[in-house]
Structure 1
Amino acid sequence: MDTPTKFAHIKGWGSDLDHANRPAYPKERTPPRLDPPVHWKEPEMQPRHVEVLRSTERPAMTPVFGSGQPPRGLSGGMRRFAFGYSENDLRHWLLLLLADRIDVGEGLVEDLASGHVPRIYSEMGGRAELQHNPVGAAKKALAVVAVLGTAYLLARRRSPRR
C-alpha cells in the first residue's frame, strides 16, 4: 500500500508534499500578476465633498477614502478630538467607541424628533434571539425587568408621600 492512498481519507492530507506533484501549484503566484498592468503609479485623488478625519500617522490624505458618514453633532466633535491622538494611544480608540455609542443615541433622538418611533426590539434582532437562543433572551428579559423594577422602586421611594 503506497502512502498517498493510505492517508487519502484524511481531509487536506498531502497539501504540504512536493510542489511538483501538486497540479495547482504552478498557477499560484504571490503576488498575483495583473493583466493588463495598471496604468497609474497612484490612484487619482477622490474629490472631497464632506469633512474627512485623518490619522496623525498619515501625513497626506489617502487617494481613496470613505465619505458616507461625515462627522456631525456631539459624536462628530468627539471623533475630531479622538483623531488628535495617535492610533497607538488607547484614548483614540476609546473616544471613537464612545462616539459610536453617542451617535446611536443621537440617531434615536433624531428619529423621535421626526415622528418615527424606532422598533428597538426587532432592529436589535429580538425575534432571532428568541428563536435561536431562548435562554439568552430570557436572561436579557429578566435583566431588563430587574433594572426597570429597581428604577421604579427608587423613584417611588424618593417621591413625597401624601
Structure 2
Amino acid sequence: MPYTADKPGAIPDPDELRRRIPGWGADLDPSDRPAFPREQPGIHTGAHWDIPEQQPHGAGRERSIEHNRLTPVFGTAQPLHGVSGLIRRIAYARFSEGQTPHWMLLILGDRVESTGAHVRSLFSRRPDDPVTQSGVLGERSRHPIASRFGRGRVDVRHMWLDPLLVVGPWVLAAVAVTRIGRVAFARGGRR
C-alpha cells in the first residue's frame, strides 16, 4: 500500500505510551535533542537549495512504488546486473516495501548473487577457502564453547543451522562437480 496522508487506527495517548514503552518520548523535549540548536529557524546552514537538484542518469535505478520519484541523490557503485538484478527489479516494480514479497525477493536476489560468486570462485585460479575464510579455525583458540553459549545469546536456538548454511553450498557444489565429472568421464570413455 502506498503511503497516504490518512493515519490508520486511533493514535495512542502519549501518557499511555510512556507507561507501556520504557523510554518512549525521550526526545520530545527539544532541549534534549543534540541537533536542536540547528533546527531553529534563521540559522544559516550554507545550503543553496530546499531540495537538492536531481542527480542525472537515474534511468534504470530501483525506486520503491511508494515514492513518486527517485531520490535526488543515489548510489551508483553497485548497479544491478544479471539474474539477481532482474529479481531485485521485480521486487521494486511490483511490491511495496511494506509487503513481505518485496523483502523475500530482495533476499532471493542476494542469495542468487552470492551463489554466482561462489560458482565463479570455484572456477578461478584462487577459489574461496570456506575453512579459513569462515573463521572456523579461529574458534579453537577463542573459547568456542563459552563464546557460543555463555553470554545469553538469543541465536542459540538456530545456531545448529550455521554450519549447514556456511558449508552446505560448498558440499552441494562439490556433489554437482563430481556428478558432472562422472558424466563427462563416462561419455569420454564410450568413444
Bin of the TM-score, shorter chain as denominator length: 0.5 to 0.7
Partner of 1:63: 72
1:29 to 1:88, Cα distance in 2 relative to 1, 3 A: closer
Q: 1:121 aligns with which of 127, 131, 146?
A: 131
Q: Distance in 1 between matches of 2:38 and 2:123?
A: 52
Report sequence identity in percent.
33
Deviations 1:53-86 (A, max 9, x none): 1100011111111222211121111111111211
The runs of at least 4 consecutive aligned structure 1 residues that moved more than 4 Å come to 25-29, 139-145
Classify the secondary structure of the residue corresponding to 1:105.
Answer: helix
Q: Distance in 2 between matches of 1:31 and 1:109?
A: 53
- TM-score (normalised: structure 1): 0.59
Q: What is the identity, as a one-letter code, of the residue corresponding to 1:51?
A: G
- Aligned-residue offset at 1:49: 7.2
Q: 2:83 aligns with which of 60, 71, 74?
A: 74
Aligned Cα root-mean-square deviation (Å): 3.7
Tell me, yes or no, if the aligned pair for 2:64 and 2:96 is still in contact at 8 Å.
yes
1:118 to 1:27, Cα distance in 2 relative to 1, 3 A: closer
- TM-score (normalised: structure 2): 0.51
Partner of 1:105: 115
Structure 2: stretches of 5+ with no match in the other structure: 1-25, 149-159, 176-191
Tell me, yes or no, if the aligned pair for 1:51 and 1:70 is still in contact at 8 Å.
no
Q: Which moved more, 1:25-34 or 1:108-117?
A: 25-34
Classify the secondary structure of the residue corresponding to 1:69.
Answer: coil
Partner of 2:51: 42
Tell me, yes or no, if the aligned pair for 1:50 and 1:67 is still in contact at 8 Å.
no
Tell me, yes or no, if the aligned pair for 1:50 and 1:70 is still in contact at 8 Å.
no
- Report 1 or 2 for greater relative contact order, CA contacts < 8 Å, sequence distance ≥ 6: 2
Q: Distance in 1 between matches of 2:32 and 2:80?
A: 48
Matches within 5 A, 1:2-17: none
Tell me, yes or no, if the aligned pair for 1:87 and 1:93 is still in contact at 8 Å.
yes
Who wins on radius of gyration, i.e. which is larger?
1
Deviations 1:81-124 (A, max 9, x none): 11121111110001111111111011112223343301223333
